[in-house]
Amino acid sequence: MEEVSQPLTALAWTSGQQACPKGYNMIVATMEGASANFVKGFGQRSAVYLCCSTVPESHMGQVITEIHILSDKTPLPVGCAYIGEYIDSKVSVSKKKKICVKRVPLNNVDSAICDLKLTIKNKQIGAPFLRIGDMNGLALWCKRVTVSAPKPLPKPRSVSVAMRGQSLDSNSPAQITSTDLTPNAEAEKVAAKSAGRAALPENTIYDSSNIYGISAIDGVPFAIHPMFENKLTNPTAISSNFKDLRIKTLSEIENEYNYGFVVERSTANRVPPGVC
Is this model's pTM higher than 0.75 or not? no
The number of folded domains in the chain is: 2
106 SS3 class: helix
Can you give the pLDDT at residue 65?
A: 93
- Nearest Cα residue to 99 out of 83, 85, 113: 83
Lowest mean pLDDT among 96-100, 212-216, 246-250: 212-216
Q: Determine the longest span between alpha carbons in the chain, in angstroms.
A: 129
- Judgement on whether residues 171 and 207 belong to the same structural domain of the protein: yes
95, part of any domain:
yes
Confidence of residue 13 (pLDDT cuts 50, 70, 90): very high
Domain of residue 62, CATH code: 2.100.10.50
- Judgement on whether residues 177 and 71 belong to the same structural domain of the protein: no
- Judgement on whether residues 59 and 119 belong to the same structural domain of the protein: yes
Confidence of residue 44 (pLDDT cuts 50, 70, 90): low
What does the DSSP 8-state code read for residue 107?
A: G
Q: How far is CA 186 from the centre of its chain?
A: 32
Which among 146, 171, 190 is the end of a domain?
Answer: 146
- Cis before 128? omega within 30: yes
- Judgement on whether residues 187 and 64 belong to the same structural domain of the protein: no
- Give the Cβ contact number of residue 213 at 10 Å: 16
- Judgement on whether residues 14 and 139 belong to the same structural domain of the protein: yes
92, part of any domain:
yes
Which among 146, 180, 206 is the end of a domain?
Answer: 146
* 101-144 pLDDT, tens digit each: 999 998 888 899 999 999 988 888 888 899 999 998 899 999 99
Quick one: average pLDDT of 248-260?
84
65, part of any domain:
yes
- Look up the domain containing 201 and give its range: 161-224+233-237
- For residues 103 and 7, the answer to whether their CB atoms sit within 8 Å is no
Which among 114, 146, 178 is the end of a domain?
Answer: 146
Rounded Cα–Cα distance for residues 113 and 81 (Å): 16
Confidence of residue 149 (pLDDT cuts 50, 70, 90): low
252, part of any domain:
no
Task: Give, in degrees to the nearest 5, the angle at Cα 43 between 39 and 49.
Answer: 20
263, part of any domain:
no
* 54-107 pLDDT, tens digit each: 887 656 778 999 999 999 889 999 999 999 988 887 787 878 899 999 999 988
